[in-house]
Amino acid sequence: MSGTSLDGIDAALVDLSGGKPKLVGTHFQAYQPDLKDTLLALHHPSLNELHQAHITANSLAREYAVAIHSLLNNTGVAAGQVQAIGCHGQTVRHRPEHGYTIQLNNAALLAELTGIHVVSDFRSRDIAAGGQGAPLVPAFHENVLRHPDVHRIILNIGGIANLTDLPRNGITTGFDTGPGNLLMDAWIAKHLNKPYDKDGTWAASGKIIPSLLKQLLAESFFIQSPPKSTGRDLFNLAWLEKHLNENEAPADVQATLLALTCDSIANAVQRFCNGSKEIYLCGGGAHNAALVSRLQQALPQCLIQKTEALGIEADWMEAIAFAWLAQQTMHLRPGNLPAVTGASHNCVLGAIYPGY
């Protein structure tokens, strides 16, 4: 898994032979700054971008292969024992309204370099069936984490934040709530040259600017009803800077961005997940103490804890989910939930690149 934060690659070796997924080993491989810069640049139109996109996809596939070989070395598992690699690729455009989404990857090269079957391009089929192509993790959450007696939410705070609503009975729903970490990451990178605001301490040192927060929360995405999904296409520095008057203290803007992530999530929970009692956090934002504390204040009716409480490590949830989605595809079983994405039917997701 390589998500919208552009922090790097989460490689997880997962045993799905039993009921609950078992995490056999993990390996995180950070992106080099120049790869991150190239990926960020590819989010915008530029000269010769087709060529640049394919060259970058090749680099990514090589990085994925290195990550997989490290994971296998660390765990002592041979490539021949692995059923398949589920490889999400790196999103550079997400435009379901135009009928496409682009996750850069060269899955053929990854299959060539590893000798393992590769499942990739998970999102396109759902979009072809009229869906958003996102989020895709809710089917996994429903399968593994739903409880008949407790109304739960699984909340992933990655670059973008997305939630899965698992009521006691009735259908599972889910959607993107808006920015997770990506605006806070971009702002601290610009002002303090750091990749992220560890534990939200810089944000906690500033004061929320109420008028700015109100303006940001007025973005129509937050008001829309699901199905909905988003990405850097909408939430980026240019979007933020449109709303600034440049007299703001940078730490106060960071405080406001943290409040934006938190309040957009809390509003979505109040509006669309009526009666929820428990929220389980995953993704890097689950480590942001200032964010979690504000979220708990905003949602006093919900007990908020990390997904470790359910036996799944918060940092590895997304990667485990894509292993599960790859297994669905290998068995030609569907991986989307039409009630989540808006697709017209359940689809077998992705394409299989054989490892021979």
Ligand X SMILES: Nc1ncnc2c1ncn2[C@@H]1O[C@H](COP(=O)(O)OP(=O)(O)OP(=O)(O)O)[C@@H](O)[C@H]1O
Contacts to ligand X by CB under 6 A: 1, 3-5, 7, 156, 158-159, 181, 185, 196-200, 283-285, 287-288, 318
Q: Does 180 bind Mg ion (CB under 5 A)?
A: no
What residue 96 binds from Mg ion, ligand X, none (CB within 5 to 8 A, per partner kind)?
A: none
Nearer to ligand X, 5 or 355 (CB): 5
Q: Does 176 bind Mg ion (CB under 5 A)?
A: no
Backbone angles phi, psi at 156, to 5 degrees: -100, 120
Give 301-306 contacts, CB < 8 A, sequence gap 24+.
301/276, 301/277, 302/153, 302/269, 302/276, 302/277, 302/278, 303/277, 303/278, 303/279, 304/278, 304/279, 305/278, 305/279, 305/280, 305/281, 306/280, 306/281, 306/282
Q: Does 7 bind Mg ion (CB under 5 A)?
A: yes
Nearer to ligand X, 284 or 335 (CB): 284
User: Do residues 190 and 243 touch, judged by C-beta distance below 8 A?
Assistant: no
Tell me the β-bridge partners of 278. 152, 303
Nearer to Mg ion, 131 or 283 (CB): 283
Type of residue found at 66: V
Q: Does 283 bind Mg ion (CB under 5 A)?
A: no
Q: Does 231 bind Mg ion (CB under 5 A)?
A: no
Nearer to ligand X, 181 or 355 (CB): 181
CA pair distance 226, 165, nearest whole angstrom: 12
Least distance in angstroms from the C-beta of 10 to Mg ion: 6
Nearer to ligand X, 159 or 226 (CB): 159
Side-chain half-sphere CA neighbours of 320 within 13 A: 27
Q: Does 3 bind Mg ion (CB under 5 A)?
A: yes
Least distance in angstroms from the C-beta of 55 to ligand X: 22
Least distance in angstroms from the C-beta of 54 to Mg ion: 23
Nearer to Mg ion, 178 or 227 (CB): 178
Q: Does 206 bind Mg ion (CB under 5 A)?
A: no
CA pair distance 39, 44, nearest whole angstrom: 10
Bridge-based pairing of strands 152-157 and 278-282 is parallel
CA pair distance 133, 89, nearest whole angstrom: 14
What residue 287 binds from ligand X, Mg ion, none (CB within 5 to 8 A, per partner kind)?
A: ligand X
Least distance in angstroms from the C-beta of 78 to ligand X: 27
Least distance in angstroms from the C-beta of 339 to ligand X: 21
Q: Which residues, 6 or more positions from 70, have their beta carbon under 8 angstroms from its beta carbon?
A: 11, 27, 29
Type of residue found at 37: D
Kindly list the residues in this chain that would bind Mg ion in the complex (CB under 5 A).
Answer: 3, 5, 7
